[in-house]
Structures are given as structure tokens and as C-alpha cells.
Amino acid sequence: MPSIFSRIVSGELPAYKVAEDGRHLAFLDITPLVEGHVLVIPKKETDYIFDLPTDELAALHAFSQRVAKAVKAAVTCKRVGVAVIGLEVPHAHIHLIPMTRVSDMSFANPKIKVAEARMQELATAIAAQVEGGSGLSETKAGAASAASAAVPAPLEAAVKGLHFMSESEAPLEAVAYPAPGGELSDAVLLKLLGEPGDAKIETVELTKFLRNHTADDGVLGDVTLANRFKALQMFMKQEMDGVQVYRVGSEPKIHAYALGRMMDGTLAGFKTVLTET
């Protein structure tokens, strides 16, 4: 039976999410020791944290560091404490706890009650402080966001470290969504992505979308980076069917999703944010 955290990852259960990438998720503890108490998990269900492979454990801690800095920026505290207990839920997780005194870290303390509106406010505030972006839809930070599927490792490697240049610079994030049943209408797509149901959608061919980034003399000014974008484009066209870029929303901030269907029907690709005025 999937753990409660796996059910959050799949979208079956809601959570006050604060950050997400292809392999990790962070959300508010609903029975916190203090306001702003966050849980950070690997999406892949593993019971004991030290059973994670070395590289996955390191990646989990690196992701936790980004989230901890956001918690520190959003919640009044002296430090953000770190704890790993691992007895409550059979799914590895890290506690990030805002603290002003050592006793704030004691799990013997009674859990506090935080109103739903305040939980949403905290989650939104923390998400807004995550360096490089929270990975969540702006409209869904603090609430149950889009369901996700496992991101193919080659795709995650191809996207890692790349940034899209518009009027600002935004990171690319590898994403994957469960295979939608039936026709991929605008309504189905928006729901899958966790975007507002009335959001505007425009489609662009991938080659056109990336043309300024794949050109050797393009906006990046770096042939090595241009070659990485070429490799990403080639991977998506070879490994996926029906690749399209979906521009969602309106100026000045537009969410861009480059997606195609994998052999199992999963929608995979990358997302980023465009600034256009």
C-alpha cells in the first residue's frame, strides 16, 4: 500500500506544497511543532532515509537546503532546525523547523493547530522565497497542485542547469504528468498542470520556441549551452510523440510547458516561466 506521502505525490491527497522538482516535494506539516514546519521527501518511496543511494541522499539534502533558506526568509525565526525521525511514516522525510530556542525542536512538545487560511498563507510565502523558483504553479502554491509522474532520468539530466532567456532568466525544470485518458483538451491539460481552468493557452512548435537557444550565435552566447539545448530538443523529438510547447496565462508572466507523450502515455518534458511585457 502506498504511503500517505506517496499519495500526496500522486495527487490523490492534498497538501500545502511549498516546493517541488522532478524527484522531491516539500509541504507543510499539518500537525506542526511551530508555524512553518515543513516536511521534505523524495518522491520515490523509500522507508529508511539512509537506504537511499548516496547521490539521491545528497540531492534530497541539497533540495532541503533551498527550502530551508526559503523558510528562514518567510518565517520569523533565528534558525531553521533539521531533524530526521523516520518512525511516523514509512517514507523517508526531513523535518525543517523554524526555531528561536532549542526547545522548539522537541517532538515531545504538543502539536499546534494552525488555521487553514494561515497554512495557505505560510505555504505561499515560503514558496515565493525558494531560490530559482518553487517549481509550483503560482496559483497552486499552498494548495494541492498538479499530479506528477516519475520524470525519466535522461530528461532530467538533459534539462539540469539550463535556463530560458526571455526578458528575464528562468530555470528549466523536468516534469512528468500521469497519462490523461481520452483527448487532451485545453480543459484536461489545464487541470493536469494545476493551472486555472480559464487560463489562456497558445501552442508553439518546439523548434520555434527554442530557436534562439539552439543557435550557435543565439541569446546564450555560448556554443556549449546551445549544443545542450539542441540535445534536449533532439531527445524530446526522438523519444516523445506530439511534442508541443504550451504557453499558459498572460503577460507579464507566462508559464511555458514543453510536453510530449512517452511510450506509456505519460506526458513529459520541461516547464519554465517567460517574462514578456
Q: Which residues are catalytic?
A: 93
Element holding 168 (H helix, E strand): none
* Residue 190, number of CB atoms within 10 A of its CB: 19
The cell numbers describing 46, all together, are 523509500
**70 contacts: CB under 8 Å, gap ≥ 6:** 18, 19, 126, 127, 128, 129, 130, 131, 134
The cell numbers describing 99, all together, are 526555531
- Whether the Cβ atoms of residue 28 and residue 123 lie closer than 8 Å to each other: yes
Angle between helices 54-74 and 116-128 (to 10 degrees): 110
The cell numbers describing 219, all together, are 541569446
3-state secondary structure of 80: strand
Give the residue from 177, 174, 154 showing the smallest Cα distance to 162. Answer: 174
- Whether the Cβ atoms of residue 90 and residue 19 lie closer than 8 Å to each other: no
The CA angle 113-74-254, to the nearest 5 degrees, is 110
- Whether the Cβ atoms of residue 266 and residue 179 lie closer than 8 Å to each other: yes
CA dihedral sign, ordered 113, 116, 117, 119: positive
